[in-house]
Amino acid sequence: MQLIDGNAIAESIIEELTAEVGALEGKKPTVAFIRVGDDPASVSYVRKKERTAERIGIESRLHLFPENVSKEELFAQIDALNGDPDVNGILIQAPLPKHIDETETFNRVAPGKDVDGFNTVNIGKLCQEDGSGFVACTPAGIVELIDRSGIETEGKHVVVLGRSQIVGKPAALLMMRKAVPGNATVTVCHSRTKNLPEVTRQADILIAAIGRPNFVTGDMVKDGVAVIDVGINRVEDASKKRGYRLVGDVEFEAVSPKASQITPVPGGVGPMTVAMLMHNTLRAFKAAQ
């Protein structure tokens, strides 16, 4: 069994991006972050994105709004950023307060600056295999992990566990497209699937994105499977200072001995999302030149 080191792979991508941005003459890429409220997880995610941008040489701007911001005010900010030629990418940190519709907000971002890949146009382009769109950072990170770990997908059976709009479905579409990585036979299963272990046991590559701690047990996979565990779940753990530990959707101890390759949690898909955000920002910058 070989561990897929998401931290190391993300680090390689960041180094590649740093070299590429360093070689740019004149203007630097710029990404704008919008954060609403002070949710500690959001604060921490945005800070991490700012730091990574800084390392690479991507400029970032942070726009903060209070929890009770009006939709009009928020949208006015998005519109201003859409119209600002110095801004290449716009990221709106989720979750948003309940009085603001997330889909509507994500769609307010100009498709060409939607480095998060949540705009309906970019999701449509993914489905149409139109490479000019932006792929959302988590599924894009999954594909990079697979590619950089030398996992072949062509003709392989990829089983995606979970059918969410932000992970399961885009990951499935990426794996079935006419490209490398891609060209896989893809099965999407979920909470309504009957005989789930029978389905998951067919997987040459299993992408687990169902959001349930330790859901995939040893009997649910076949020998030699490659496992991408997208889940990041908190489970109570009194032995930890913060009272919990993070586990994936896959029971690592039971599944890893059967796997050819597997991502740990944390340190698997997680670090890839920020790297892919920066990758998308540089692409948006280049497209704007």
- Residue 113 found at the interface with a second copy (CB under 8 A): no
- Residue 172 found at the interface with a second copy (CB under 8 A): yes
Question: Is residue 147 among the annotated active site residues?
Answer: no
- Residue 224 found at the interface with a second copy (CB under 8 A): no
- Residue 201 found at the interface with a second copy (CB under 8 A): no
Interface pick for a second copy out of 32, 126, 140, 143 (rule CB under 8 A): 126
Among all chains, which residue has been given the structure tokens 């309504």? 192
Burial class from Cβ neighbours inside 10 Å (0-12, 13-18, 19+) for residue 254 reads middle
- Residue 222 found at the interface with a second copy (CB under 8 A): no
- Residue 127 found at the interface with a second copy (CB under 8 A): yes
Q: How far apart are alpha carbons 263 and 245 in whole angstroms?
A: 17
- For residue 164, say whether it is annotated as part of any ligand binding site: yes
Burial class from Cβ neighbours inside 10 Å (0-12, 13-18, 19+) for residue 75 reads middle
Q: Which stretch binds a second copy (CB under 8 A): 148-156, 215-223, 241-249, 254-262?
A: 148-156
CB of 206 to a second copy, least distance (A): 14
Question: Is residue 49 among the annotated active site residues?
Answer: yes
Q: Are strands 244-247 and 233-236 parallel, antiparallel or unpaired?
A: antiparallel
Q: Calculate ∠ Cα 46-51-55, nearest 5°.
A: 150
Give the other-Cβ count within 10 Å of 275's Cβ: 25
Interface pick for a second copy out of 42, 183, 233, 260 (rule CB under 8 A): 183
Q: Which is nearer to a second copy, 42 or 202 (CB)?
A: 202
Identify which of 267, 271, 275, 285 has the alpha carbon closest to the alpha carbon of residue 14.
275
CA 114 to chain centre: 14
- Residue 122 found at the interface with a second copy (CB under 8 A): yes
Provide the Cα torsion 252, 255, 256, 257; round to 10°. Answer: 140
* Torsions phi, psi for 157 (to 5 deg): -95, 110
Number of residues that bind a second copy (CB under 8 A): 38
Interface pick for a second copy out of 35, 49, 108, 125 (rule CB under 8 A): 125
- For residue 162, say whether it is annotated as part of any ligand binding site: yes
- Residue 130 found at the interface with a second copy (CB under 8 A): yes
- Residue 101 found at the interface with a second copy (CB under 8 A): no
Query: Which positions touch a second copy (CB under 8 A)?
Result: 103, 119-130, 154-157, 163, 165, 169-170, 172-173, 176-178, 183-190, 192-194, 199
Catalytic residues: 49, 93, 116
